[in-house]
A and B are shown apart, each in its own frame.
Chain A
Amino acid sequence: MRTTHRPNDPASTNASTGTRQDAGTRQDAGTSHEPDTATHAPAAPARGRGGSILASRPLMGWRTVDLLTIAFLGVAFGIAYWGYDAFYNGPISLLKIGFLPAWGLFAGPWFMAGVVGGLVVRRPGAAFLCEVVAAIVSMVPGNAYGATTLVSGILQGIGAEVAFALLGYGMYGIVAAVLAGALSAPLEAAYEWTTWTKDWPWDSKLLYLGAMVLSGAVIAGGVGWLLTRALARTGALSSFPPGFELRDSRSA
C-alpha cells in the first residue's frame, strides 16, 4: 500500500504560489490514531520554478505506475525506433554524399525518449531510464548498430538527465525540454568522434556536434514537449504532473 506520497491537486484552495513545497510527512506519522487507507486532505501542489508541477514527494519514491510508465514508454519509443532505424539507414543515408556534418540533423528523434520520459514522470532517473529502455528494445531484435545502440542510449540518457538535474529537477517547461534535447547530444557526439567520425577534421567534427545539438533541441526538445502536451490532452497522463498542469490550466 503506497503510504508515503501526497497527492497533487491543483484545484486545492490552499495552494501556495510559486514556492517549492517541502517534502511532506505522512499525516499520521507520530499521531495517535491508527493508519487509514488514506488520511489526507488535498495538499498544495509542489511547484518548481516557472510554475511546473513536480512529482509527488519524496522525489525518489517511484510509484509502481511511474516505473511501469517509463518502461512502457521506453518500449513504445524503442519500437518506433525500429522504423526510424530503417529510415535512418535507408533513404537518407544517400544524403551522406552531400554535406556530411548535416547528418547530425537527423539524430534528434533518437533523443526524444529521454526528453519525454523526463517530462512525464519528473523524477531523477526518469529520462535516463526511458532512453536506455528504448535503446534496449531497439537493439534486441537486431538492428543496424547492435551493442553500440545500448552505449549510445546510455550516453544520451545521461545527457538528458544532466539537463534536468542542472535545473534542479524543478523546471519542466519548453526550456527544460529544449535543454534536455540539446544536452543529449554532446556525449553522443564525443562517442561518435571515437568511432564513426574519428578521422574527420576537427571543424567537421564540431559542425557535426552542432548539428546534433540543434536537432536535439528542436526535434527532441520541441517536438517532444509538444508530444507530451498532446498526450496530456488525451487524458492518458492524468496521474502525472503534465496531466495535473492541464487540469490546472483548464480550471483557471
Chain B
Amino acid sequence: MSVTHDAGLRHDTRRFEESPRRPAATPRAGEVEVRGLAWRPFGRREPILRGLDLEVPAGQRVLLVGPSGSGKSTLLRALAGVLETVDAGELSGTVRVDGAVPGTRAGAVGLVLQEPGAGVVSATIGRDVAFGLENVGMPRADMPARVAAALAAVHLDMPQDTPTHALSGGEQQRLALAGALALEPTLLLLDEPTAMLDPVNAASVRASVADVVTARQLTTVVVEHRLGPWLDFADRLVVLDAHGTVTADGPPATVLAEQGESLVAQGIWVPGYPPPQPRGIPGGLFTAGALGTGVVALDAAAITVERTVRRLDGSTRSTVALRDQWLQARAGQVHALVGPSGSGKSTLLLALAGLVDHEGIVRAHPELAPHESRDPHDWGTTDVGRVLAWVPQLASSTIVAATVLDEAMTTSRALGLVESESLSRARALLGLVGLGHLEQADPRHLSGGEQRRLAVVSAVVHQPAVLLADEATVGQDRLTWAAVTGVIEGLRDAGSAVVVTTHDDEVVARADRTTTLTRPVQASTAPAPRRPLAARAGPLALVTAAVLGIPAGIVSPHWRTSLLVLAAQVALAALALWAPAWGTDRRDRGPAPRGRATSVALRMVPGLVGAVSVGWSTWLLGSHNLSVAATAGLRVVVIVFPSAVLIRYVDADALGDHLGQRLRLPARPVVALAAALQRVHTFGDIWTEISRARRVRGIGATARSPRSVLAELWALTIGLLVRSLQAAAALAVGMDARGFANAQRRTWAAPAAWRRPDTVVALASLLPLALAWWAPL
C-alpha cells in the first residue's frame, strides 16, 4: 500500500507524457492507480487538485476525508470517469482502474451521489435498476435476473413496480446503489451518501453498503465528513487538505491518533472529541425583544395539513402531512421538533409561518400581530417578514440578491429599518459566521455550507420575534454547525422564540423544549378505480387518435357535417370511456371510475370558449354570415374534443419506450425526455418553495403592487430554470456513470407493443374523418 505524496504545488499545466506500459501482470479486480492528477476547471484561477497520487489495492476500503473544497468529489468523479460530463477544465495526470481508463467498460465503477433521488431515471424501481443494463445493450431476457439480484443485495424488498417517488431518502440511496451494482462494478464510490439522511435512514444505507461490499469484495472509496459510523467499515483513512494534496494516509486508528486534532479544527466530525461549542454572539448585537421570557409568541392548535401532489396525467394524490398537532413557541426558548422523516416536522413549521393552508388555529401574540388578525396566514408580506423568519432545508432556494451583503440586508431593507444599524449588525453577523471576506461575492457561487450560514444570517439581521429553522444543521461540518447554532442561540438569548426541526442529538440536547412528532395516520385510500377502455391503448395510439381530430375539423365543409362528425366523436368517446370489468389485468378490477363525463366537460370549457370566440371573430371580420361563423366555431369543437377525452390517458411513463421502440426515434434523446418527465412533480414544489421564501422575507408579491408581481414572476421563473439546470447536471453525472454517454445502441427493458386496443383506437378515430369527407351536406 504505497502512496507518494506530492510535496510541491504544481501550477503549470502538464501535457500528458508518454508513460511506460505497465508490466504484464493482470491487475486484480478493482485496483486503482492515480498519478499526478491535477484539475482546474475553467473559470477558477486555482486548481482544485494539484498532482494527486494514490494507489488502492483491490478489495480495500478507503475513507476519504477533508474540508470542503479539497477536491474529494473531484477525485471520485475522476475515478468514475465523469469529471468532464458537466465541467470543462484542464485535466492532467493518469487514472487507471484495473489498468484501464475509467469508462472503458460502462459500469466498471459504481458511483452513488450525495443527494437522494438525484440520479433517478425511471418511474419504477425495477426499471431504474435496469437503466445501466439497457445502456450496455443487454438483451431484455437477461435483465430480470440481474435486476432482482441487485435489489435483493440492498434489501429493497418491495415489488419492482413500486414508484420511485414513493421511496424515502434512504431507500432512494439504496436504489442508487442497486443501480450501480447491476452493472457488476469492481470499484464502488460513495460521495457523502448519508449526509442528507436522518440517522435511521443513514444506518440502513451504511448496512447495505457493508453487506454489498463484503459479499462482492468490492474496492470502495467513501467520502464522508462524519467519520464515526464509518470507522469500523474502513481499512484505510486518507486525508486531503484544502489544497487537494494528501496529508495523511494509513489505518484509521493511527491517522486519527496523529491527526485527530487538526481534522477537528478543519471541521470534520471525529469521534471521541467533544462536540463543538456554538460561537458566542457579542452582547448588544441584538436589542431586547418585545416579549418576556416564556411568553407564548406563537400558538398552534389542532393543526391538520393535507398535501396534494399533481401528477403528470392530471390526477391528484393527497396525503395527510400533519394531523392534529399542537405547539407553543415561547419567547427566549429554543423548541426542538424531532421525529422520523415523514412525520410532518417541516409542514408544522410552514403552518406556523402561515405559508401553507391548514385546519386548526395559529395565533401570534397580540403585540406581534399587526392588526385584528393574529394568524400569520392572513398577514401581508411585510408583516410576516417583520415578525417571522423561516429558513428552509434547501438554503439555495431563498437567494434573491446579487451579493452576500445585499442578501443579508434584504429583509431589513424591505421593512424599511434604519440602514446603518442593520448594516453594522449584518456585517458583524457575517464576520461571526466566517463570511466576512465574501461580502461582495455572488451568493449563488458559494458552497452549500456557506449558503446555509448566509441563509441563517439573513433570517436574523432584522431580529424577528420568531425564528423557524428547518434542519439547520444537517450535512454541516463542525465549523458551520458552531456558527449556525451560535446565531440561533444568540437570537434566543435576545428574547425571540425559536423552533427548529432536527435529527441532531446535540441540537436536541441544547434545546429548552422538545416535541416529538409521529407519522400521521393516513386516511384509508379507496381502492383504485377501474381503467376505461381508452387507458388500455398505448400513448402513440391515443395521440394519433387525438391528432386525427384536426383533419376531421379542417375537412368538414359545413356546420351540419361538423355536427354529424361531432355526434360520431361523442359516441366513440362514450365507448372509449366505458370501463367494463373485463380482463385479467389488476387495473381492470375495482370500482367503476367516477366523474369521467364531468372531467371531459371541464376540459372542454376552454375549447368551447375558444370555439365561441373563433365563431365570433369570423362573424365580425368576415361577411357577418352566421353559417360561416357556426362552421368555424364547430370546427374548433371537433378538433379539440378527441384530445379532451383521450390525452388524459396517455401514460407518460411509457411514452419514452413507445417513442424509442415504435417510432425508432434516437434512443438517447428519448430517454432524456423520459427522465425529465419523471421530475414534473418536483417542479411545482420548487415554485412554491421560492414564493414562500420571498413572502417570509418581506418581498413577496402583493396585489397592490404590479411591480412586485412582475418581480416575483421573474424570480420564480429564473429560480425554477436554475434548479432544473442544476438537476439536469446532477442527473447527467449519474447517467454517465451508468454508461449513458456512449449508449447510442441501447436496449429497452420494457416492451412497447402495438396491441389490439391500439389498432382499434386508431381505426375508430378514422371514422369521424371519413364522415367529414364523405358525408352528404
Contact = CB atoms under 8 A, between A and B. Distances in A.
Q: Which 9 A-B pairs have the closest CB atoms?
A: A146-B643, A1-B103, A144-B606, A7-B88, A71-B676, A147-B546, A67-B672, A65-B732, A141-B314
Interface string A139-170: 11111111110110000000000000000000
A179 B632 CA distance: 32
B19 interface: yes
Contact of B621 (A75, A100, A140): A100
Contact of B683 (A7, A35, A79): A79
Nearest to B730: A68
A148 B679 contact: no
Contact of A236 (B609, B687, B725): B725
A141 B42 contact: no
A238 to B, nearest CB: 6
Chain B interface, >50% SS class: helix
23 contacts: A33-B19, A41-B13, A68-B672, A68-B676, A69-B728, A70-B669, A71-B675, A71-B676, A71-B728, A72-B724, A75-B676, A76-B683, A96-B613, A145-B610, A147-B546, A151-B547, A197-B614, A200-B618, A231-B725, A235-B442, A236-B725, A239-B86, A239-B88
A150 B618 contact: no
Interface string B646-661: 0110101001000000
A167 B7 CA distance: 52
B716 to A, nearest CB: 9
Contacts of B725: 69, 72-73, 231, 236-237
Contact of A140 (B95, B312, B726): B312
B28 to A, nearest CB: 20
A162 B725 CA distance: 25
B42 A7 contact: yes
B631 to A, nearest CB: 7
Contacts of B644: 142, 146
B314 to A, nearest CB: 4
Given A72-B676, A72-B725, A239-B87, A195 B621 contact: no
Contact of A1 (B81, B643, B722): B81
Contact of B313 (A129, A140, A237): A140
A201 B621 contact: yes
Interface string B62-99: 00000000000000001001111111111111110000
Given A75-B683, A195-B553, A145 B643 contact: yes
B569 to A, nearest CB: 12
B643 A234 contact: no
Contacts of A65: 85-86, 728-729, 732
A80 interface: yes
Contacts of A28: 16
Contacts of A195: 550, 553-554, 635-636, 639
A249 interface: no
B157 interface: no
B672 A71 contact: yes
B640 A32 contact: no
B444 A7 contact: no
Contacts of B312: 137, 140-141
A37 interface: yes
B88 A9 contact: yes
A197 B81 CA distance: 55
Interface in B432-475: 442, 444-445
Interface in A173-200: 194-200
B362 to A, nearest CB: 29
B620 interface: yes
A148 B90 CA distance: 48
B94 A80 contact: no
Contacts of A69: 725, 728-729
A247 interface: yes
A199 B622 contact: yes
Contacts of A199: 618, 622, 628-629, 631-632
A33 B717 CA distance: 49
Interface residues of A, number: 79
Given A36-B101, A142-B644, A146-B642, 10 more contacts: A1-B103, A1-B742, A39-B92, A65-B86, A73-B724, A93-B609, A136-B655, A140-B647, A147-B549, A195-B554
Given A36-B101, A37-B95, A148-B550, A89 B606 contact: yes
A100 to B, nearest CB: 5
Interface string A97-115: 1001001000000000000
A204 interface: yes
Interface in A47-86: 56, 62-65, 67-76, 79-80, 85
Contact of A247 (B43, B93, B668, B683): B43
Interface of B: 13, 15-16, 18-19, 21, 42-43, 78, 81-95, 101-104, 310, 312-314, 442, 444-445, 543, 546-547, 549-550, 553-554, 603, 606-607, 609-610, 613-614, 616-618, 620-622, 628-629, 631-632, 635-636, 639-640, 642-644, 647-648, 650, 652, 655, 668-669, 672-673, 675-677, 679-680, 683-684, 687, 717-718, 720-722, 724-729, 731-732, 735-736, 740-742
Nearest to A198: B632
B680 A79 contact: yes
A237 B724 CA distance: 11
A46 to B, nearest CB: 12
A215 interface: no
Contact of B42 (A11, A142, A147): A11
A23 interface: no
B728 A197 contact: no
A138 B128 CA distance: 25
Contacts of A74: 673, 676
Nearest to A11: B42
A103 B610 CA distance: 12
Contacts of B731: 68
A63 B19 CA distance: 29
A201 B640 contact: no
Contacts of B673: 71, 74, 133, 136
A146 to B, nearest CB: 2
Interface in A14-56: 28, 32-42, 56
Contact of B622 (A42, A85, A93, A200): A200
A37 B81 contact: yes
A2 B683 CA distance: 29
Contacts of A79: 680, 683-684, 687, 720
Given A68-B676, A140-B312, A146 B88 contact: no
Most buried by B among A64, A143, A148, A150: A64
A75 B724 contact: yes
Contacts of B668: 62, 64, 67
A8 B88 contact: yes
B669 A67 contact: yes
B636 A196 contact: yes
B724 A76 contact: yes
A234 B444 contact: yes
A142 B554 contact: no
Nearest to A207: B621
Contacts of B621: 100, 200-201, 204
A38 B635 contact: no
Given A75-B683, A198-B554, A236-B725, A35 B101 contact: yes
B18 A32 contact: yes
Contact of B617 (A40, A96, A147, A238): A96
A68 B368 CA distance: 48
A227 B18 CA distance: 46
Nearest to A239: B86
B641 to A, nearest CB: 8
A47 to B, nearest CB: 15
A115 to B, nearest CB: 13
A79 B680 CA distance: 8
Contact of A75 (B21, B610, B680, B735): B680
Contacts of A230: 718
B617 A7 contact: no
Contacts of B655: 136, 140
